[in-house]
Amino acid sequence: MNGPANRALHPDENRLVSRCWQEWEISGRERRVFLCVETALEMRPGFAGFDPAKLDTLVNEARELVHASASPIDSIRIIPQL
């Protein structure tokens, strides 16, 4: 998901996504695929640096990654960068 096509779409200096990967949850015969998106953005309203417009941009960028994925993705998880 961090391939050249994605980098061309979002130059590194403007990207809000630090890393991304897929996780699978399997329960019996059911399977759910999650796109995990790591970001350095502050995601807690009321904390210094929180910017709702940037958070909206991050969500839109994550949705673009879902649409670009060859495999079906059920949900997006946004994870703070440690």
Grade residue 4 by pLDDT with cuts at 50, 70 and 90.
very low
What pTM, to 2 d.p., does this model score?
0.75
Q: Is-contact 17 64, C-beta < 8 A?
A: no
Average pLDDT, the chain: 86
Q: Which domain holds residue 14?
A: 4-80
Inform me whether the pLDDT recorded for 3 exceeds 70: no
Distances (CA, A) of 51 to 4, 42, 48, 56: 28, 7, 9, 9
Q: How far is CA 57 from the centre of its chain?
A: 11
> CATH code at 42?
3.30.70
Residue 5 has pLDDT above 90, yes or no: no
Tens of pLDDT along 36-53?
Answer: 999 999 999 999 999 999
State the total domains in the chain. Answer: 1
Q: pLDDT band at 14, cuts 50/70/90?
A: low
Check if the beta carbon of residue 79 is closer than 8 Å to that of residue 37. yes
Q: Determine contact, residues 79/20, Cβ cutoff 8 Å.
A: no
